[in-house]
Structure 1
Amino acid sequence: MIKRAAMLPALLVLVATACTATVSGTASDDGTVVSGGGVDASFVRNTDGGSIDRLAATVITDVRTFWQQQFPAVFGKEWADLSGGYYSVDTANAEAPAPPCTDSPQDVEGNAFYCPTADVIAWDRAALLPVLRDKYGEASVMLVLAHEMGHAVQRRSGITPQAERADPERFPTILIEAMADCYAGAFVRWVADGHAQHLHAGKDRLDRALASLVSFRDPVGTSPGASGAHGDAFDRVSAFSDGFEQGAKTCSEMSVDNRRFTQRSFVDAQDRSQRGNMPFGDFLNAMVPNVAGYFTGALSGRQWPAGQPPQVRAGGHPTCPRADQGPVALCPDNATVELDQISTQQLHNEVGDYATGTVIAGRYALAVLAAAGRPQEGPDAQRALLCLTGAYTGALLTGVGEFTLSPGDLDESIQVLLAYDYPGRDIAGNAISTGYDRLAAFRVGTLRGPGSCW
Structure 2
Amino acid sequence: MARRVFTVAALVAVAALTGACTQAVDGLARAERPDVSKVSGLEITTGESGPKPGVPDADLRVENGDGGEMDRLAINTLADVEEYWGEQLPKNFDGKKFEPVKRLVSYDSNGAGVEICRTNTKGVANAFYCSLDDSIAWDRGELLPMLDDAFGPMAVVTVLAHEMGHAVQYKLGEAGGVTQATPSIIKEQQADCYAGNFFRWVAEGKSEHFRISTGPGLNQVLATMFFIRDAAGTSAEKQGAHGSAFDRVAAFQFGFAGDPKRCAEIDEQEIKGRITQQKFDSQDVDTGQGKGNLKVDDRRYLDLLEESLRSAYNQSGATPPTFEQGGASCPDAKETSPAAYCPATNTISIDLPDLVKIGTPPKRGQKGGIGDFAAFAEIASRFSLSIQKATGYGLEGPAAGLRTACLTGAWAGTTTEASDKPKLKLSSGDLDEAVAELLADKSLIAADVNGTVVPSGFARVEAFRDGFYEGSGLCTRKYGA
Residue 291 of structure 2 corresponds to 275
Partner SS, residue 178 of structure 1: helix
Distance 1:65 1:392 in 2: 43
Cα deviation, residue 163, structure 1: 6.4
Counterpart check, 1:135 vs 2:150: yes
Distance 1:399 1:346 in 2: 32
Q: How does 1:2-151 map to 2 (within 5 A)?
A: 2-4=2-4, 32-37=50-55, 39-40=57-58, 43-76=61-94, 77-83=96-102, 85-93=103-111, 95=112, 98-106=114-122, 109-151=124-166
Residues 219 and 140 of structure 1, relative CA distance in 2, 3 Å threshold = same
Partner SS, residue 270 of structure 2: coil
Counterpart check, 1:335 vs 2:346: yes
Partner SS, residue 424 of structure 1: coil
Q: How does 1:349-360 map to 2 (within 5 A)?
A: 349=360, 350-360=369-379
Alignment partner of 1:206 out of 191, 199, 218: 218
Distance 1:345 1:156 in 2: 50
Cα deviation, residue 399, structure 1: 8.1
Residues 398 and 179 of structure 1, relative CA distance in 2, 3 Å threshold = farther
Distance 1:38 1:226 in 2: 43
Counterpart check, 1:446 vs 2:446: no
Residues 111 and 192 of structure 1, relative CA distance in 2, 3 Å threshold = same
Distance 1:174 1:134 in 2: 28
Distance 1:398 1:201 in 2: 46
Distance 2:60 2:328 in 1: 58
CA contact (8 A) 2:49 2:211 kept: no
Residues 319 and 275 of structure 1, relative CA distance in 2, 3 Å threshold = farther
Residue 388 of structure 1 corresponds to 407
Distance 1:123 1:272 in 2: 37
Counterpart check, 1:293 vs 2:314: no
Distance 1:405 1:68 in 2: 43
Residue 261 of structure 1 corresponds to 275
Identical aligned residues as a percent: 36
Give the aligned residue type for 1:407: S
Q: Which moves more between the two structures, 228-237 or 262-271?
A: 262-271
Residues 148 and 50 of structure 1, relative CA distance in 2, 3 Å threshold = same
Distance 1:436 1:4 in 2: 31
Gaps of 5+ in 2: 6-47, 361-368, 477-481
Query: Alpha-carbon deviations, 1:163-218, whole Å to 9, x = none?
Result: 6454xxxx221111000000000100110011111111121201122111111111
Give the aligned residue type for 1:3: R
Residues 67 and 112 of structure 1, relative CA distance in 2, 3 Å threshold = same
Give the aligned residue type for 1:186: N
Q: CA RMSD in A?
A: 2.4
Counterpart check, 1:404 vs 2:425: yes
Cα deviation, residue 72, structure 1: 0.6
Alignment partner of 1:176 out of 187, 190, 193: 187
Residue 355 of structure 2 corresponds to 344
Q: Which moves more between the two structures, 336-345 or 230-239?
A: 336-345
CA contact (8 A) 2:64 2:107 kept: yes
Distance 2:246 2:70 in 1: 29
Partner SS, residue 330 of structure 1: strand
Residues 126 and 110 of structure 1, relative CA distance in 2, 3 Å threshold = same
Residue 243 of structure 1 corresponds to 255
Gaps of 5+ in 1: 6-29
Q: Between the two structures, name the one with larger relative contact order (CA 8 Å, sep ≥ 6).
A: 2
TM-score, structure 1 as length reference? 0.86
CA contact (8 A) 1:174 1:228 kept: yes
Cα deviation, residue 311, structure 1: 2.1
CA contact (8 A) 1:399 1:405 kept: no
Distance 2:137 2:416 in 1: 37
Distance 2:418 2:154 in 1: 37
Distance 2:98 2:60 in 1: 22
CA contact (8 A) 2:382 2:449 kept: no
Partner SS, residue 423 of structure 1: coil
Question: Number of aligned pairs?
Answer: 414
Distance 1:119 1:177 in 2: 17
Cα deviation, residue 314, structure 1: 2.4
Partner SS, residue 329 of structure 1: strand
